[in-house]
Structures are given as C-alpha cells and as structure tokens.
A and B are shown apart, each in its own frame.
Chain A
Amino acid sequence: MRLSTRPLAAAIALAALAGPLGACGSDSGGGGGGASAPGVTKTQITLGGHFPLTGPAAPGYSEIPQAIDAYFKSVNAAGGVNGRKLKFISRDDGYNPANTVKVTKQLVLQDKVFGLLGGLGTPTHSKVVDFLNASRVPDLFVASGCLCWDEPGKHPWTFGWQPDYYVEGKVLGQHIAQQFKGKKVAYFLQNDDFGDDGAKGLDKFVPAAQVVTRQTYEPGNTDIGPQMAKIKASGAEVIASFSIPAYTALVKLAGVKLNYDPTLVVSNVGSDPTTLTGLLKSFSKGKAGGSLIEGIVSDTYLPPTGDTSNSWIKLFKGIHDKYIPKLPWDGNVLYGMSLAYTFVQALDKAGANPTRQGIVDALEAGGLKGPGLVPFRFSKDSHAGYTGVQVGTIKDGNLAVTGKPLTSDDADAPNEPYTQTQPEAPANGIPGGS
C-alpha cells in the first residue's frame, strides 16, 4: 500500500511546500528610496544577464560575465557612474532555453534588475526577447550576432552589440573572392541562424561556381568525420567556417587525421587564438597545440588581444590583471569588458537619474565611441551593433590584422573601408571622464 494517500501526509506536504515558497515571496527586491527606475537606487544600479556558466557552451563564454563584473568593479573603485555603484548578477542557463526563460524571469521579477546586459546565445535569448519587451526591460547588447536583435519596430527594448554574422560573411566573402580567386571553396556551417546568416553574407561575394560543397554540423555531435571527408573529396582549397571554437578545433584536427591542410577562414566567434589553443590541447590530449592555428584567416571588430601598444588593450589588460588574474587574457575577457564599457558610456549619457526609457533614448541618439575598430549603427531605426570587421591572419598565436576595417550593411551595399582612426581609451578608464 505504498500509494495510500493519507490526508495528514498531504496536509504536512502542502504546509511544508507553502512555507519556503511564502518565505521566498516576501522579499522586497531592489526598490528603495531615490529610485528613478526598477533596479536603480541612490547608491546602486543592478543589472543581470544569462550565460552558460556550466555545460558544453561554458568553456570560454563563462569568462564574459566575469569580465563584465571586473570592469564594473574598476568603475566602482573610481566612484561609480553619477555616484551609483554598478552591480552585475549573472545567472547560469547552461545554454538550455528552458533555463534561460527561468533565470531571465528570476532576474526581472525577483532580482528586479534595471536591465539585461549581454544575454548570451541565439537559441537561448530569442526565447526571452518577447517577455523582456513586453515588460519594458532594456535588453542591451545581446551576445550573439543574429540579425534578429535589430528589429526596433517589433522589439524596441532590444539592442545588439557585435557585428551580425551577415556583415561578417560579406567581409570574409569579399576577402575570399579577392585573395583566393578561382580556388575551390567549401562552406562548413553551424546548422542554425549563425551558419545561415554567415553563408548568406559569404554568398554575396564568393562566386557560386567557386563553392564546391556546403556542409553543416549540429552543435553537440562532435563527430564531423563524414563532413570533413566530403570536403576533402570535393578538393576544396579553402574552407569558410561559421563555427564555434570547439568545431573550429575539430576541423583542424580532422584535417591532421586526413592529411589535408586547406586554408581555413573562420568567423570571429570561432577563432579566438587562446581558446582554440586550449581546445586543441585538450581534444588531442596534448599532442596538438597552438602551431595548428597558425595561418587561420579570421576577422575582428575589437583591437587584437596581443596588440599591447593599443590603449584599450592596455586599459582592459590592466583591469584583468587586477580583478580577474586567474582567467586567461583572451578574446572572451576583452569582449565582456568592451561590452561593459559601452554600457557605462550609454548609462552616463542617460543622465544623472537614469530611467529605462532614458537609456534606450541615449542609445538611439547614437554617438557612442567604444573600443571598436568601427562605429556602431545605433539610431532610431537601427538597433544593430558594430558595422563591420577587419580581416586578419593568426601569426604567433595572435591575430595580425591587414588592410583597413570594412563596414557594410544588412542589405546589398558594398563593403566600404573605414578610414577614421580608433579613439584612444580614456586615461581613467571611464567613459565621459566623470
């Protein structure tokens, strides 16, 4: 009679259930006096984001929230923004969209954040965009290059930050068309918006006759042997790859196995040299390493991490060494800090008493000058981030950029060189010099 349902037990169960839940419900959140918006008090502004801190997507990406937090700490040490300290809550979604929904609602409803910053991933973040916009919560600088963040009519509270994969594809496509004229090209694409948008951009410039095969992979399935065998059989001399770091490393390792070494052209998100070297070492159990990534062609919209003469790299490397010295100094850390810098700049522009509408207005007013090599597209009509990228080649473990950064749009415009010089980082590391 295990299934006997005694009313007493039921009553105890319900009472026990109600107790802790009720206790959770009574917390007051982050309101308080002097508040101009939820998450804003006289002394503090609370922001949050969802990131894969555990699970398969965590390596590399889990550094981003720590880098955001480190930059905020450096701003707080200098007095904060208009007297308010910045607090950043990162919650783990394990790259599972169901968890993204849960933790995002937790951030908004329970932690009462002012806004989201750097919510990571396309399949994850796309599930909370409607909720955030319906709740009128600023959804700033989504950490993904999907074109779908730039819909100011439908999603007025959502802003992208990094260049979208379409623009990136256009610039890499032009590079392939010019530098590898007439050579056979294979595409290796992640089987979702990331790969699709990238391929559309590539197709704008790479002549269709040159593309000999298009292979896709499913993130999660690490056996890419069949795809690589087909690419080798096609005789491709160049592989254009829109892949996350783990799959870029797998392409290189599969090449070693097949004794096949074509030129690899990889999207920015899949080409961070430090992350790739670590992955290659761990996948091959130490047999392969950094030498394999030499010669990979990629692109960047931030100064390369190895460019120690750059004022931004000096600034962010200094913050890294002070606040998060245990993390590797790599593209993920640079990414998080640059994104946090852009936010602080927008917050400063939003005035002494920032409101949720205020920060959206500040972004739409444009004029942000961040660590990027190219300008932002932010305006009333565009919520897209950086307008372009600069192509480079990995040499001695660092991306060595060549030529000028190219800017483009999400339609048919040609890629234009961007000739203005990158602004210098502020001496105290805080935008607006406050």
Chain B
Amino acid sequence: MATEVETSVRPRSTPRRMLDQTLVRHLAIALAAGLALYLLSQSLSAFDNLQLATMAYYFVAVAGLTVLTGLNGQISLGHGALMAIGAYTAAKLLEGPAWPLALVLVVSTVVTAVAGVLAGAAAARLRGPYLAGATLALAVGLPSIADKFPGFLGAANGISVTPPIPPGSLGATFPLERWQAWITCLAAVIVYVLLANLVRSRFGRSFRAVRDSEVAAELAGLHVARTQVLAFVVSAACAGLAGGLFVVVTQLAAPGAFPLALSVALLTGVILGGLGSLMGAVWGAAALVLIPTWSDDLSKSLSLSTNVQANLALAVYGVVLIAVMLAAPGGLQAAVDRAAGAVTGALRTSNRSRGSGPRLEEEKET
C-alpha cells in the first residue's frame, strides 16, 4: 500500500508510459470494483439491490457533474432536467420496437449530449450566479414541457415502460432487482473508467486550466469557450445515461420524478463526496441514497406522531449534511484520503519504529 501511494507521487519518465500506466490502473480498479459489486449484489436482498442500482445511476450523474463543477468550475443546477431528457428518450425508445437495452442507453446518452451542446454554448457565456440562474431555469422549465405534449410525453402521468427481463440463461428465479443492479453497476463502472481517463488526459488538464484562470488558459493557447462547452457536453452525456438508467430501475419517466430538488440533490452529492473527485462521487451517490433511507428508518423507530416523523427524516438529512461539511470540509473523499494517509503514515512509523515525525509530513502533503 505504501509503495502505491509513493508511485502516484513520483514523476513518470515518459508521457507514453504514464498513459499506459494510468489506463491499466483504472482498468484494474474497474475490474476490482466490478467484482466487488458482483459479489455484493449476490448477497443483497431484493430491496437493497434496488438501492444499489439507484446508487449506481446517481453515481453516473454525480460523477458527470463533479467533472463539470469540480474540474471545470461551471456550476449547474439543471442536471435533473438533463436526466429527464435521457429518461424520456429511453422511455420513448423502450415503448416502441424492441431495441437492445444497451443501444437505448447509448441513444439517450447521445441525445442528452446534443442537448448539452445547446445548454453548454449558452452556459459558456455566463459566469457564477448567472450560470446557476440559467441552469436553474432549465431544471424548473424543462420537465413541464411534458405537460404540453400529453399524447407524446404523457403529461403529468408520464410514460411507464415494462421492466428489463433478465436473460433466461440466468435461471427462471433470477431476481429482477439484481439484474437491474447489474445493468446500472456495469454502466457506472464503464463511466468511471472513461471519466478517470478523461480527467487525466489533455482534456482534463485543459478543464482544470480553464477553471483556475481563464486568462492564463487563453494565453496558453486554450480555446476557453470550446473547453467549457466540451466539459458541459461530457457532463450532460453522463446525466443522460443516468436518466436512461433511471428508467431501467424505476420503469417510468414523469415530470414529477425530476423536480428541482433532484438537481440540488446531485450538486449536494458532488459537494458531500468531495468536489472534483470521482471516488467522492461514489460517496456522494451512496449518501444521497442511504441517508434518506436511514434517517427515515431512524425517525420511524422513534414512535413519534406521523407529521413529526415525516419531517424529521428531512431534518436528520440536513443535520448529517451540516455535520459532514463541518467534519470534512473537503468532502468525504478528502476525509478518507486523510484517514488512509494517517494509516499508511502510522504503518511507516511502526516499520521504522520512530516517533510522530512522518505523520506530520503526511499532514503537510495533503
């Protein structure tokens, strides 16, 4: 473990070798994560598999948003609406001829990416609160478009689709919820690999350069607006895929499923996990799914009146958010990094049987 941390700090000799190493490393992590998720899904109950699937599509959306906000410095309050585009595309396609699910998901990703080009082009001209305001308008306005086309988009009632049927080769009793978890987790792992490579590539560096100083980035020869639009498109594509996966899990696309609260929740996930961190997006997605469930169970176990109970869950959710932000201002991933650093530091200390010197060094490093 200690050597791993050291290699990531040590400078690489040639760019070619570094790219190879990065790709191999991300694929290895993805493989390990995939295996862990497979084993996890085998041991979980039906409802918990559903929670896992929900986490997976939240991860896809939160990871896309963390690239946009954390790496490129653009804030978006409209990602719930972009998810709606992906979800409606997937629902319309699943309603019609029997397309393979993978193709449906790819198409909803592409359609949302195209919408992302439009939104991104507008977003690249706006800064700070103006950008937040514009994307907020997207979140508020877009889902109600469904009301204007009751025949095509089903108005307030939305569109319902049939659930994905697990292939017969898995056996007749294979639970649907596990199949949904597999589909969404596979998509989440693929998105992880793609994004992890993207942020370590030339594009990732230009995203960061534009975030840190637009003037400096422009002087360095970067096209600022184009970089910002590209970041928005990548992020929108993720939101679109998340929307498609949402349909896989819930079998519905309806305006009520994409309220402003969803867009805000995605941003909450980004910040809770750690701005700009893909591993943080895992934490953020887990928090978005588990905290409401836990706080709900907690308030239910307290035998209070129904009105207090229902609202206590929201209050507990808020308290947890505040507590996390106070305890780990850099997000959960920063806290995990610090804990991991402390553990490796302590290991090194005991190996060398010395005092607390190295731990101080670790502190400084992070």
Residue numbers of B with Cβ under 8 A of A are 1, 4-5, 8, 25-26, 29, 32-33, 36, 40, 43-48, 50-52, 54, 70-71, 144, 147, 150, 155-158, 160, 162-163, 177, 196, 199-200, 204, 246, 250-252, 254, 256-257, 259, 274-279, 282-283, 286, 290, 296, 305-307, 309-311, 313-314, 333, 336-337, 339-340, 343-344
Contact = CB atoms under 8 A, between A and B. Distances in A.
Given A14-B33, A98-B246, A101-B250, A92 B276 contact: no
Contacts of A106: 47
Contacts of A5: 25-26, 29, 196, 278-279
A406 to B, nearest CB: 29
Interface of A is mostly: helix
Nearest to B161: A130
Nearest to B289: A102
Interface stretch (A16-24, A207-215, A289-297, A366-374): A16-24
B48 A25 contact: yes
B339 to A, nearest CB: 7
B310 A96 contact: no
Contact of A17 (B1, B250, B257, B286): B286
A191 B339 CA distance: 54
Interface stretch (A121-129, A243-251, A271-279, A420-428): A121-129
A315 B283 CA distance: 52
Interface in A76-101: 90-92, 95-98, 101
Contact of B8 (A4, A25, A122): A4
Interface residues of A, number: 58
A13 interface: yes
Given A2-B70, A8-B344, A218-B144, A191 B155 contact: yes
B252 A127 contact: yes
A127 B5 contact: no
Contacts of B343: 8
Nearest to A28: B45
Q: Which of B144, B275, B333 has the most CB of A within 10 A?
A: B333
A256 interface: no
A355 interface: no
25 contacts: A2-B275, A3-B196, A3-B200, A3-B277, A5-B25, A6-B8, A7-B4, A7-B32, A10-B29, A10-B32, A21-B48, A22-B43, A24-B47, A90-B306, A96-B257, A105-B46, A109-B46, A123-B254, A127-B250, A130-B160, A130-B251, A131-B163, A131-B251, A218-B147, A220-B144
Nearest to B4: A7
A10 B337 CA distance: 10
B257 A102 contact: no
